[in-house]
Amino acid sequence: MEALKGIKVLDFTHVQSGPTCTQLLAWFGADVIKVERPGSGDPTRGQLVDVPGADSLYFTMLNHNKRSLTLNTKNETGKRILQRLIKKCDVLVENFAPGAMERMGFGWEQIQKLNPRMIMASVKGFGPGPYEDCKVYENVAQCAGGAASTTGFLDGPPTVTGAQIGDSGTGLHLALGIVTALYQRHETGIGQRVLAAMQDGVINLCRVKLRDQQRLAAGPLTEYSQYGEGIDFGDTTPRAGNDSGGGQPGRILKCKGWETDPNAYTYFITQAAAWPKICKAINKPAWVDDPNYATPNARLTRLNEVFDAIESWTMTKTKFEVMQICNPLDIPVGPILSMKEISEEESLRETGTIVEIDHPERGKYLSVGCPVKLSASPAEVKRSPLLGEHTKEILRSELGYTDNELDEILESGAVG
Rounded CA-CA distance 142/249 in Å is 25
β-pair partners for 359: 363
Integer CA distances (angstroms), 196 to 15, 60, 167, 191, in order: 16, 24, 11, 16
Rounded CA-CA distance 197/208 in Å is 19
Min CB(194)–ligand COA separation in Å:
14
Do the beta carbons of residue 34 and residue 44 sit within 8 Å?
no
Task: Write out the residues near ligand COA by the rule CB under 6 A.
Answer: 15-18, 35-37, 71-74, 95-97, 100, 103-104, 123-125, 135-137, 167
Min CB(162)–ligand COA separation in Å:
15
Integer CA distances (angstroms), 29 to 200, 276, 374, in order: 28, 50, 11
Min CB(70)–ligand COA separation in Å:
7
Min CB(48)–ligand COA separation in Å:
13
For ligand COA, which is the closer residue by CB, 125 or 177?
Answer: 125
The SS3 call for residue 253 is strand
Residue 290 annotated among the catalytic residues of the structure: no
Rounded CA-CA distance 156/235 in Å is 18
Rounded CA-CA distance 399/410 in Å is 15
Residue 66, phi then psi, degrees to nearest 5: -110, 165
Min CB(407)–ligand COA separation in Å:
21
For ligand COA, which is the closer residue by CB, 131 or 320?
Answer: 131
Active-site residue, from 11, 31, 42, 167 = 167
Burial 108-134 (b: 16+ CB within 10 A, else e): beebbeebeebbbbbbbbbeeeebeee
Largest CA distance in the chain: 88
For ligand COA, which is the closer residue by CB, 35 or 368?
Answer: 35
For ligand COA, which is the closer residue by CB, 100 or 336?
Answer: 100
For ligand COA, which is the closer residue by CB, 14 or 251?
Answer: 14
Active site (catalytic) residues: 167
